[in-house]
Amino acid sequence: MKKIVLLFSLFGLLVSCADTKPCDVPTNGFITGTGQTVMMGSEATIDVFKKIDKAWLDRDYETLKAHISDDGIYRHSDGNISNNSEEFIAFIEKDYQDRLENGGNWGWTTNFAFSVKPSASDDPEVTNTNGEWVCARFTSETTVYDEWYQIIDGKLVDWTSSKRELVK
């Protein structure tokens, strides 16, 4: 009896330590009108996002500039749009100064970030397959921000931010 219990224990251990099979369904969801689905992106894109996030928090504008395309478009939660890296960085600095003047704190918690990318499309007009997209959420003392970052070749080319009041 001891041998049977030992045998089943060893079998269970081997099964639990075996390599897992990759996802059977590597994509899901849809993108209207394109026939595309959504796939997970890469950790390399998350690494670029982390550099952008840290440089933004530290107000390290040289590092930030190295990861922001001059040809990008950056849509702020208040409706403003920055059309290049200089405008984007100027907006960040103004936001920092405004917070200090109004007695607020500069800083946030990055709650999550993940990278996705659309699957290929048969339609040559579809251009959303360039790079990958990072979705990230941040919270400050009073606000929740949900943002999307399109990153191509290590540079931010498109950014959209929305915000809402933090419910405690």
64: domain range? 23-165
CATH classification at residue 117:
3.10.450.50
How far is Cα 25 from Cα 14, in angstroms, rounded to an integer?
A: 25
- Please give the structure tokens belonging to residue 71: 């040809």
Region for 35 from its dihedrals, namely left if φ exceeds 0, alpha if ψ lies in -120 to 50, beta otherwise: left
Whether 110 maps to a domain, the answer reads yes
pLDDT at 149: 98
pLDDT at 33: 84
Whether 15 maps to a domain, the answer reads no
Whether 3 maps to a domain, the answer reads no
Asked if 147 contacts 161 with a C-beta cutoff of 8 angstroms, the reply is: yes
In this predicted model, what pLDDT tens digit does every residue of 55-107 receive, in sequence order?
Answer: 999 999 999 999 999 999 999 999 999 999 999 999 999 999 999 999 989 99
Whether 36 maps to a domain, the answer reads yes
Asked if 50 contacts 154 with a C-beta cutoff of 8 angstroms, the reply is: no
Q: How would residue 31 be classed by pLDDT, with cut points 50, 70 and 90?
A: confident
Number of domains within the chain: 1
Q: How would residue 24 be classed by pLDDT, with cut points 50, 70 and 90?
A: low
